Structure 1
């Protein structure tokens, strides 16, 4: 399995972030080919960090090759580009990790 993990800090405009994330960003996630599953976790406590962690999203793929193909697809490119549309609601860009 391979995953994309996206870690968001506390938004500066939480209501607008939540609305955009739910109404626009999540539907784009579900269009990504080869996606096997997706999870969103609300962070209620972060340890060993000064960051104010808010949300962690995981996108699941069968393997690194399918993940790479999915992100290179038109739908994957549209999803990645949409992160810029979240920035007005955030204090800093999300951390993105690609893991196996």
Structure 2
């Protein structure tokens, strides 16, 4: 499995970020070819209390699937959309991940 993790610093306007992100950006992300799972969090810290306001995580079968998704027209649309809401920019990390079975 391969993970795409995006960390968002504090935006200029939290409400505008959240509204656009949930209404426009996440539906674009859901169209990424080969995406297996998407999760996100808003308001990770109180305003001014930490380095990040939000995070996004998507998983793919492997690094090749992630690379293909981001090179696709859908991936280019996702990337091009970021400046429309992320006034603080974004830090993008990609890495292989291993799942650990949890008993029960």
- Band the TM-score falls in, shorter-chain normalisation: 0.7 to 0.9
Aligned to 2:83: 84
1:1-100 to structure 2, matched below 5 A, reads: 1-42=1-42, 43-44=44-45, 51-87=50-86, 90=87, 92-100=88-96
Stretches of structure 2 that go unaligned for 5 or more consecutive residues are 97-104
Structure 1 length-normalised TM? 0.85
- Report the alpha carbon displacement of residue 12 of structure 1 after superposing the two structures with TM: 1.2
- Report the alpha carbon displacement of residue 52 of structure 1 after superposing the two structures with TM: 2.8
- Report the alpha carbon displacement of residue 9 of structure 1 after superposing the two structures with TM: 1.2
| Equivalenced residues, count | 93
Superposition misfits of 4+ residues, deviation over 6 angstroms: none
Stretches of structure 1 that go unaligned for 5 or more consecutive residues are none
- Report the alpha carbon displacement of residue 51 of structure 1 after superposing the two structures with TM: 4.5
Structure 2 length-normalised TM? 0.82
Aligned to 2:102: none
- In 2, distance between residues paired with 1:93 and 1:12? 10
Select the structure with the greater relative contact order (CA < 8 A; seq sep ≥ 6). Answer: 1
- In 2, distance between residues paired with 1:93 and 1:72? 20
Give the 3 Å change call, closer, same or farther, for CA 93–62 of structure 1 in structure 2. same
- In 2, distance between residues paired with 1:23 and 1:86? 11
- For the 8 Å contact 2:39–2:58, the answer to whether it is kept is yes
